[in-house]
Amino acid sequence: MKRAYVMVVDDEAPARERLTRLLRSAGYVVCPTSNGDEAVEMLHAAGRLPDLILVCGEAAKTKSAFYTTLMRSPALSRISYLAIASRFDDVRASSFEVHGLLQLIDRLAGPPPVFSTTLERRAVRV
């Protein structure tokens, strides 16, 4: 089963790292980028396009060439994207908020595999 692939665009390194860890622990393939220009470069160089682009922090608040590039390219315009205007590291996310975010990502990108990487490792050891 193909794992859902999420690109994270966030200019704040701590927030980007925290969100990347959260998504990877949920079973997603994650490509973290620090800004829209880096994201566009990676999109053009990628062999596989992401199922979802998650744009956070300042990048979500500005109308940039990043959004224009997404909308002008027929291949890229089919990718779902979600903009979160608040910084992820500022939010003291409760388990309910994290669960809600992951449910929304499931709907937009597709679910992660049935077993997380941690569970797969445990199953191999048994």
More confident position, 114 or 35: 35
More confident position, 115 or 77: 77
30-69 per-position pLDDT tens digit: 999 988 888 888 988 888 899 999 888 776 666 567 778 8
CB 5 within 8 A of CB 29: yes
Q: Can you give the three-state secondary structure of the chain, one letter per residue?
A: CCCCEEEEECCCHHHHHHHHHHHHHCCCEEEEECCHHHHHHHHHHCCCCCCEEEEECHHHHCCCHHHHHHHHCCCHHHCEEEEECCCCCCCCCCHHHHHHHHHHHHHHHCCCCCCCHHHHHHHHHC
Q: How many domains does the chain have?
A: 1
Domain that holds residue 44: 5-125
More confident position, 113 or 39: 39
The pLDDT, as a whole number, for residue 32 is 94
For residue 1, how many C-alpha atoms fall within 13 Å in the half-sphere facing its CB? 11
Q: What is the CATH number of the domain that holds 85?
A: 3.40.50.2300
Apex 101 CA angle, 63 and 42, nearest 5: 50
Which has the closest alpha carbon to 70: 51, 43, 97?
A: 43
Instruction: Evaluate if residue 125 carries a pLDDT over 90.
Output: no
65-111 per-position pLDDT tens digit: 777 888 888 888 888 888 876 555 544 555 557 777 888 888 888 77
